[in-house]
Structure 1
């Protein structure tokens, strides 16, 4: 895997060979259960504190690294995109190796900071689907735009 901290080489459950960061520390143990709970409440609009809960979700993401399933062939990087509405796609990311192994075993796991993932959005990509083979969360631009600087140059 590529280390989200320095771009060096890191293996599952080992430290990065370049900067020494531990694998678990790099992933920040993102709380998918908490994220899912917050997302569900936001999606169902059943909370009086919906802005607070959306802000908490944004903070969880901003302070986390996620795994991007990728195919690397001939020095080219291919990322998994899932279909959405209006021919817009969602980039698949996962929170941990258990989620990665549910559907992406044949691909390469690349760890990325949230900011690096945001940089992948372009005019054909609506947002992200987190843990698509588990209890997934869809985060579209309507959620992302108020909290993050999203590249909207081509939109």
Structure 2
């Protein structure tokens, strides 16, 4: 996966090949206060359409440059990701903004960081969007919202 500090290659529980940061240190350094503010505003409005175009663009920029933490599980069938039920019986892939949020419910799983573009490819598996910080300041990013800002040009 990509290092959140320099963009180099970093493997689980190892050091980045480019900058040498330890995997755990990298995860501890991830924090996205602006994204969390925008997520909170989205949830207060109960949908992504309630934010202004400027705020949506700001969030898009933050997401593109983010290293959200994806809880992963490894078994004999390979790697899997946590999907949680949300509104209207829809399924959402769990992501966390930082390790404090991650530890609230996924401490037994493997924390993975990947570029936002990779996270978006996970939606091809049929999920309805992402749930950010499921045990904290939760925010649901619907697939329709993500398509509007990220997927229509691809």
Q: Same fold (TM over 0.5)?
A: yes
TM-score when scaled to structure 1?
0.76
Gaps of 5+ in 1: none
Helix, strand or coil at the partner of 1:68: strand
What is the CA distance between 1:74 and its match in structure 2? 2.1
TM-score when scaled to structure 2?
0.76
Residue 82 in 1 paired to residue 81 in 2?
Answer: no
Separation of aligned partners in 2, 1:89 and 1:126:
6
What is the CA distance between 1:40 and its match in structure 2? 3.8
Separation of aligned partners in 2, 1:81 and 1:106:
15
What is the CA distance between 1:6 and its match in structure 2? 4.6
What is the CA distance between 1:123 and its match in structure 2? 5.6
Alignment of 1:52-67 (within 5 A): 52-67=54-69
Give the equivalent residue in structure 2 for 1:41: 41
Separation of aligned partners in 1, 2:51 and 2:89:
33
Answer whether contact 2:42 2:51 (CA < 8 A) is retained: no
Gaps of 5+ in 2: none
Helix, strand or coil at the partner of 1:95: coil
Pairwise CA RMSD of aligned residues? 3.2
